[in-house]
């Protein structure tokens, strides 16, 4: 898939040398104005007649194709913007994603896209432009590289999109917004690519290679901690998960360095490239989904990519412990006791609760590096899916301020999250008779007891754990979301970092 080229112009909508012109019509508008009125004039009043006769209603998602008329395009697409009350930046991102796919389906080619019709006046033009760009680039995402037959790939292309600002004064701001939105969308699509790839083609070694290539391309530092080095560092909890696999584990460390000596923010992602459950093996049905168990690591790699491009004034440490969880002869057995790098011991009751084992060392490592706050992202538990479904991801944190920052960041990205309780009483469930802690606490409050284990490795450092197991994938195309791996929470992580940079 090649992305369409995005640009911004203040030129006259009908005079641009394009194949397709897009304008927006709100639901229930009596009178056409701005770009919609210009389209009406270019079609000798056809648009107004179609509205009068109920052929164009302006309902969200409606698209009507007209002849290009007196514009230079061969077609005009009139897109329904929906009810005025719902005209916000999130509605615009969603509408842009849906429309972009419709345009691809009609082989729209070079597109001039009016930016009038949404949130006009009330939203910063840069913020609106970013959302619109995210919608287009995320909405057009496809993972079709393994379809060898042309017929199985989507037909049609969107070659370029020129966003047409009605007012020349907003062009510069919109250009800044497009640059930011494109960086966020491309980073999200990069994370989606890593997560969608099957596990035989995305081993820890391959993830590490992608991290190194991305870092070299974007100007980040990248170090891979190999097994021998991880042994020297005492990462026994992380390494215990790799014991049953023939694939060498790779502990990825990425560094974005801003000027100054402030400690970095740490982003730590679970990188299980395939989760069979290990000795505590999973049932066969649906196990293929576990190729996505490195979505946390993918999100961290994606976030680091966008951060490298957007250059905030705060340093960021990206950590992604990667390994398979396999039931080979050397695999960890229930009852085994392992030691993390900070010296704490863990009794492994269930080898399928492996995410917290690799994050114990991932978080301990980031903390030892002096990073603060620590934010880990993981497809940790089926329990979070039971609690919150595919709508919101769970946030478990020891810090109210960090929660507020995550909420502000998610308000910008449009992602949905929810704070989970972390009462001290939940710790009772993970007390072990033989070690400092055990890695399962039974079915009740399953996402919380998982978080409670990780919290022990954050110590007194501000920390948040994002359990994305429910939202790691999407079941159908809608707006910026495309069936397959979601690429959440790349944009929220980046917004959190950018907000600290201001």
Give the Cα separation of 58 and 29 in Å (integer).
8
Minimum distance of ligand BES from residue 304's CB (angstroms): 22
Positions of E strands within 175-280 = 221-225, 250-256, 265-269, 271-275
Instruction: Enter the tokens of residue 486.
Output: 């979601």
Cα(86)–Cα(65) distance, integer angstroms: 24
Residue 469, binding choice from Mn ion, Zn ion, ligand BES, none, Cβ under 5 to 8 Å by partner class: ligand BES
Q: Do residues 159 and 4 make contact, with C-beta atoms less than 8 angstroms apart?
A: yes
Structure tokens at 176: 């800044």
* Count of beta carbons in the 10 Å neighbourhood of residue 232: 10
275 binds Mn ion (CB under 5 A): yes
E strand spans, 35-189: 63-67, 75-82, 109-114, 158-164
**How many helices (DSSP H) and strands (DSSP E) are in the chain?**
14, 20
Per rule CB under 6 A, is residue 361 in the interface with ligand BES?
no
In degrees rounded to 5, what are phi and psi of residue 318?
Answer: -105, 130
Tokens of 9: 């112009």
Residue 262 backbone dihedrals phi, psi, to 5 degrees: -60, 145
Give residue 335's region: left, alpha or beta (phi > 0; psi -120 to 50): left
Per CB under 5 A, the segment of 154-162, 271-279, 328-336, 401-409 that binds Mn ion is 271-279
Q: Is 356 designated active site?
A: yes
Please report how close the Cβ of residue 430 comes to ligand BES at its closest, in angstroms.
10
Closer to ligand BES at the Cβ: 293 or 342?
293
Contact segment (CB under 5 A) with Zn ion among 189-197, 269-277, 310-318, 408-416 equals 269-277
Q: By C-beta, is 98 or 381 nearer to ligand BES?
A: 381
**Neighbour count for residue 148 (Cβ, 10 Å):** 7
User: Which one of the listed residues 41, 227, 282, 416 is annotated catalytic?
Assistant: 282
Closer residue to Zn ion, CB minimum distance, 264 or 450: 450
What one-character DSSP code corresponds to residue 324? E
Counting every residue written for the chain, the total comes to 502
The beta strand positions in 142-220, using DSSP E, are 158-164
3 is a site residue for ligand BES (CB under 6 A): no
Residues 6 or more apart whose Cβ sits within 8 Å of residue 302: 187, 188, 190, 191, 194, 487, 490
Tell me which residue has its CB nearest to ligand BES.
382
Q: Does 480 bind Mn ion (CB under 5 A)?
A: no
Minimum distance, C-beta of residue 272 to Mn ion, in the bound complex (Å): 7
CB atoms within 10 A of CB 481: 20
282 catalytic per annotation:
yes
Window of 60-68, 200-208, 380-388, 479-487 that interacts with ligand BES by CB under 6 A: 380-388
| DSSP letters for 255-272 | EE--SS-PPPEEEEE-EE
Is the CB of 128 or the CB of 346 nearer to ligand BES? 346
Q: Does 451 bind ligand BES (CB under 6 A)?
A: no
Q: Decide if residue 275 touches Zn ion (CB under 5 A).
A: yes
**How many Cα atoms occupy the beta-carbon half-sphere of 112 within 13 Å?**
25
Asked if 293 is part of the footprint of ligand BES (rule: CB under 6 A), the reply reads yes
Interface stretch with ligand BES, choices 70-78, 160-168, 185-193, 352-360 (CB under 6 A): 352-360
- Decide: is 347 part of the binding site for ligand BES (CB under 6 A): no
324 near ligand BES (CB under 6 A): no
Q: Which stretch binds ligand BES (CB under 6 A): 8-16, 82-90, 309-317, 353-361?
A: 353-361
Tokens of 456: 């022990």
Interface pick for Mn ion out of 92, 193, 352, 376 (rule CB under 5 A): 352
Is residue 324 part of the contact set for Zn ion (CB under 5 A)? no
Q: From the candidates 356, 367, 438, 491, which is the catalytic residue?
A: 356
Rank residues 91 and 326 by Cβ distance to Mn ion and give the closer one.
326
The single residue among 97, 269, 271, 355 that binds Zn ion, judged by CB under 5 A, is 355
CB of 244 to Zn ion, least distance (A): 13
Q: Return the range that interacts with ligand BES (CB under 6 A); candidates 26-34, 114-122, 296-304, 378-386.
A: 378-386
Sort 208 into a burial class: Cβ within 10 Å, 0-12 / 13-18 / 19+: buried
Report in angstroms how near the CB of residue 71 gets to Zn ion at its nearest: 53
**Helices marked H in 30-116:** 34-42, 46-52, 89-105
* Contact residues: ligand BES, CB under 6 A: 275, 289, 293, 350, 352-355, 379, 381-383, 440, 446, 469, 472
* Contact residues: Zn ion, CB under 5 A: 272, 275, 293, 355
* Contact residues: Mn ion, CB under 5 A: 275, 352, 354
Residues belonging to the active site = 282, 356
């Amino acid at each position: 898939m090649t992305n369409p080229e995005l640009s911004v112009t203040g030129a006259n909508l009908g005079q641009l040398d394009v194949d397709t012109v897009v304008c927006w019509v709100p639901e229930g508008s009596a009178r056409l104005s701005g770009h919609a009125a210009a389209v009406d004039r270019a079609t000798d009043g056809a648009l107004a007649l179609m509205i009068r006769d109920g052929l164009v209603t302006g309902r969200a998602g409606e698209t009507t194709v007209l002849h290009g008329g007196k514009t230079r395009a061969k077609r005009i697409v009139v897109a329904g913007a929906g009810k005025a009350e719902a005209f916000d930046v999130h509605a615009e991102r969603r509408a842009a994603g849906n429309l972009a796919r419709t345009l691809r389906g009609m082989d729209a080619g070079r597109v001039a896209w009016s930016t009038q019709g949404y949130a006009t006046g009330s939203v910063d033009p840069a913020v609106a432009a970013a959302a619109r760009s995210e919608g287009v680039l995320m909405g057009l995402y496809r993972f079709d590289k393994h379809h060898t037959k042309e017929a199985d790939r989507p037909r049609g292309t969107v070659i370029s999109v020129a966003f047409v600002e009605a007012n020349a004064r907003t062009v510069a701001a919109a250009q800044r917004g497009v640059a930011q939105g494109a960086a966020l969308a491309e980073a999200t699509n990069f994370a989606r690519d890593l997560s969608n790839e099957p596990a035989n083609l995305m081993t820890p070694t391959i993830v590490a290679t992608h991290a190194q290539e991305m870092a070299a391309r974007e100007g980040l530092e990248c170090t891979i901690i190999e097994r021998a080095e991880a042994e020297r560092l005492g990462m026994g909890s992380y390494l215990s998960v790799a014991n049953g696999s023939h694939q060498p584990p790779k502990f990825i460390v990425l560094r974005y360095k801003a000027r100054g000596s402030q400690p970095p923010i740490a982003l730590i992602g679970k990188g299980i490239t395939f989760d069979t459950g290990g000795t505590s093996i999973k049932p066969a049905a649906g196990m293929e989904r576990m190729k996505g168990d490195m979505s946390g690591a993918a999100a961290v790699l994606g976030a680091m990519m966008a951060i490298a491009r957007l250059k905030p004034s705060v340093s960021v440490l990206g950590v992604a412990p990667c390994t398979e969880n396999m039931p080979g002869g050397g695999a960890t057995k229930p009852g085994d006791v392992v030691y993390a790098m900070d010296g704490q011991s863990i009794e492994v009751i269930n080898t399928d609760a492996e995410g917290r084992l690799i994050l114990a060392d991932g978080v301990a490592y980031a903390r030892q590096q002096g990073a603060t706050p620590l934010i880990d992202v993981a497809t940790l538990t089926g329990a979070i899916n039971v609690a919150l479904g595919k709508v919101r991801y769970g946030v478990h944190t020891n810090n109210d301020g960090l929660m507020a920052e995550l909420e502000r960041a998610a308000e910008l990205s449009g992602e949905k999250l929810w704070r989970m309780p972390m009462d001290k009483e939940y710790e009772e469930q993970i007390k072990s008779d033989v070690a400092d802690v055990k890695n399962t606490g039974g079915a009740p409050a399953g996402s919380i007891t998982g978080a409670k284990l990780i919290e022990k490795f954050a110590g007194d450092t501000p920390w948040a754990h994002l359990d994305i197991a429910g939202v790691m994938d999407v079941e159908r195309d809608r707006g910026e979301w495309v069936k397959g791996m979601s690429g959440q929470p790349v944009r929220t992580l980046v917004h959190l970092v950018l907000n600290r940079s201001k």
